[in-house]
Amino acid sequence: DGNSPGTLVRNADIAMYETKSQGKNGYLHFNPAMSSNHQDRIILENDLRAAIKSGNQFELHYQPQVSGKSHSIIGLEALIRWQHPTRGLIGPDEFIPLAEETGLIIGISDWVLSAGCRQLRAWRKAGYDHFKLAFNLSPKEFEQGNLVDRINRHITAFDIPPAAIEIEITESLLMNDAEKVIEKVSLLRHAGIHVSIDDFGTRYSSLNYLRRFPVNSIKIDQSFIRDLVPNHAPAIVTAIIGISKSFSLDVLAEGVETEGQFNQLNSLGCDKMQGFYFSRPLPASAVERLLVSGVFPISNMKPALQRCG
Ligand code: C2E
Ligand code: MG
Ligand code: MG
pLDDT category of residue 178 using cuts at 50, 70 and 90: confident
CA 26 from centre of chain: 28
181-185, 203-207, 243-247, 299-303: the lowest-pLDDT one:
299-303
What pLDDT is stored for residue 307 in this prediction? 35
Residue 302 above 80 pLDDT?
no
Question: 96 vs 47, 106, 169, CA distance in Å?
Answer: 13, 11, 14
Contact 112, 96 (CB under 8 A): no
C-alpha 200 – ligand 3 centre gap (Å): 8
The pTM for the full model equals 0.89
- Other C-beta atoms within 10 Å of 229: how many? 12
What pLDDT is stored for residue 300 in this prediction? 44
**What percentage of residues in the chain have a pLDDT greater than 90?**
64
80-84, 197-201, 293-297: the lowest-pLDDT one:
293-297
Mean pLDDT value across the chain: 88
**Distance separating alpha carbons of residues 137 and 89, to the nearest angstrom:** 21
- The 10s digit of each residue's pLDDT in 115-155 is 999 999 999 999 999 999 999 998 788 877 799 999 999 99
What number is the average pLDDT over the span 13-39? Answer: 84
Q: What count of residues does the chain have?
A: 309
Contact 57, 85 (CB under 8 A): yes
Question: Which residues pair with residue 198 across a beta bridge?
Answer: 170
C-alpha 216 – ligand 1 centre gap (Å): 20
DSSP-derived secondary structure letter, 131? S
Q: Which of 57, 62, 96, 200 to mutate to test the pocket of ligand 1 (most atoms within 8 A of CB)?
A: 96
How, if at all, do strands 73-84 and 217-220 pair?
unpaired
How, if at all, do strands 217-220 and 250-253 pair?
parallel
